[in-house]
Amino acid sequence: MTLPLPRAVVFDLDGTLVDTAPDLTSALNWVLESEGREPLPEMDVRHMVGRGGRHLLMRGLAVSGVTASEAELDLLLPRFLAYYGDHVAERSTLFPGVEAALLALAGHGVRLAVCTNKPIGLTEPLLAAMGIDRHFQAILGGDSFTFRKPDPRHLLETLNRLEVAAAEAIMVGDSDSDVKAARGAGVPVIGVSFGYTETPIHELGVDKIIDHYDELLPALAGLRQVDIRS
């Protein structure tokens, strides 16, 4: 029996497809230590990821006791991005089951995209290093437009690149930015339990939660079945 899958699935990147926290932590700590601050443990940094490098820097500095001005962030951000770009895939790994799930979706003819707040100049090399860039028909970063998640236009423009309507798509993410973008775009959203959100995923109002990518196709089919019946 054919699964009632959506025409398109759009994925967040950090904390959803790839566990990037180790390399992001290294880059953040490199900046902090260069500023004479103590490094932060990776478990703390995991909850700061998801809204782009500037937000991560601001949060990291705040935890270390520094309230950075916008001008200071302007100076530190290029250094952070340059270091991170040189080490973007040293310790980052795919979450278990990601590639098998992408292959299965492609086998069913589902169109795939990435919609992330990570700059596109870091997103594309990371996906290539992980060996999964070939699976996506559209890859949009935080600087691909003048807006980004949680602005729903980021997701809607990603769907436009796929030539798929919001009613025929599902978002997969790990944070409130993903949920807010999906809700604003009128797209159902599946949350992953292993991501980087500060607020527990079950409190974000997602439609379904998966603990492993083995559960993705049944979750997608379940949501589509509800859409078909409604």
CA distance 170 to 191: 11
- CB neighbourhood size of 207 (10 A): 17
CA distance 135 to 112: 7
Structure tokens at 73: 């962030």
Active site residue 19: no
Kindly give, in sequence order, each residue whose CB lies less than 8 Å from that of residue 59, ignoring residues fewer than 6 positions away: 48
Catalytic residue among 12, 14, 23, 174: 12
Contacts 24+ apart (CB under 8 A), 31-39: 31/57, 31/60, 31/76, 31/79, 31/80, 31/83, 32/60, 32/61, 32/64, 34/79, 35/61, 35/66, 35/76, 37/61, 37/64, 37/65, 37/66, 38/64
Number of H helices, E strands in the chain: 9, 8
Residue 156 near residue 139 (C-beta atoms within 8 A): no
Nearest to 175 by CA among 151, 199, 141, 156: 199
**Which stretch of DSSP H or E encloses residue 90?**
none
Residues with a known catalytic role: 12
